[in-house]
Amino acid sequence: MVVVTGQSKVSGNPDDAMSSSDAEDDFQEPATPTATQAGQALPLLPQQFPEVVPLNVGGMYFTTRLSTLRRYEDTMLAAMFSGRHYIPTDAEGRYFIDRDGTYFGDILNFLRSGDLPPRERVRSVYKEAQYYSIGPLLDNLEDIQPLKGEKVRQAFLGLMPYYKDHLERIIEIAKLRAMQRKARFAKLKVCVFKEEMPITPYECPHFNSLRFERSESETKLFEHH
């Protein structure tokens, strides 16, 4: 069957005519991209990495071995460069990590040779180590100052019952005392009494009502503790 417009003359030349099948093709929806076409738009997985990896971390450039990034299997860096995930590259072909790179050099130094940062950068590097989930580095940093002192402090506060419950009240008292003395800060003494009776979280003790029957030597020891 030959389909022509009203303004066109019927021609016996098959090249001048459009068959019904051709007309239907003009009105068909675009076909779904094939796997080959899709591969041209999106990179194929798994991604392959060179032995020497150029990095762009938040605009700062680094170069390291692939084995260094994979030093510890359970870290984010090892997962990122395992080939299971796609890592974008910048205009120069460096693999881009959208993170502040100020302390990334300290991360690499630990992965390379176990070096730890100087004391003034411990807190900042610890934060980066948390982001990249580098457990061995976190453990090492927690054993040096100032994180070691903070770790001991938190452990001590964990032994003090109701400390967090009364912390806001303690701060209020300190502020009031500082204002009364027109000072920039105030010191408070917090007395902690060791209880031998079981106390639930719902039974805040009344220390003034407690009575202890001890010998003179035991009383001094108890007060010291």
Q: What is the DSSP string of 155-172?
A: HHHHTSTTHHHHHHHHHH
Strand order in the sheet with 60-65: 60-65, 52-57, 95-97
164 and 141 share one domain = no
What's the mean pLDDT when you consider all of the chain? 76
Spatial separation of the C-alpha atoms in residues 47 and 85, rounded to whole Å:
7
132 and 74 share one domain = yes
- Is residue 170 domain-resident? yes
Domain total of the chain? 2
97 and 181 share one domain = no
pLDDT at 89: 95
The string of pLDDT tens digits covering residues 183-206 is 888 888 877 666 665 555 555 554
- pLDDT exceeds cutoff 50 at 221: no
- Is residue 116 domain-resident? yes
Spatial separation of the C-alpha atoms in residues 101 and 64, rounded to whole Å:
14
142 and 56 share one domain = yes
Side chain identity, residue 26: D
- Is residue 30 domain-resident? no
146 and 119 Cβ atoms separated by less than 8 Å: yes
- Is residue 9 domain-resident? no
The string of pLDDT tens digits covering residues 11-28 is 445 455 444 445 444 444
Spatial separation of the C-alpha atoms in residues 75 and 70, rounded to whole Å:
8
Spatial separation of the C-alpha atoms in residues 108 and 63, rounded to whole Å:
10
Residue 112 sits in a domain whose CATH number is: 3.30.710.10
Spatial CB neighbours of 122, under 8 Å, sequence gap ≥ 6: 116, 141, 144, 145, 146, 147
127 and 166 share one domain = no
56 and 142 share one domain = yes
pLDDT at 189: 80
175 and 99 share one domain = no
The string of pLDDT tens digits covering residues 40-86 is 545 555 789 999 999 999 999 999 999 999 999 999 999 999 999 89
CA distances from 164 to 34, 190, 194, 203, 205 (A): 61, 13, 17, 15, 15
Residue ranges making up the domain that contains 197: 160-207
Residue that is written with structure tokens 């051709």 in the block: 22
63 and 96 share one domain = yes
- Is residue 16 domain-resident? no
- pLDDT exceeds cutoff 70 at 99: yes
The torsion angles phi and psi of 12, rounded to 5 degrees, stand at: -85, -5
**Reported pTM:** 0.54
- Is residue 137 domain-resident? yes
Instruction: Over range 115-128, report the average pLDDT.
Output: 94
Would you put residue 133 in left (φ > 0), alpha (ψ -120 to 50) or beta?
left
104 and 189 share one domain = no
- Is residue 42 domain-resident? no
141 and 165 share one domain = no
pLDDT at 39: 44
Give CA torsion, residues 130, 133, 136, 142, to 10 deg. 20
- Is residue 17 domain-resident? no
164 and 196 share one domain = yes
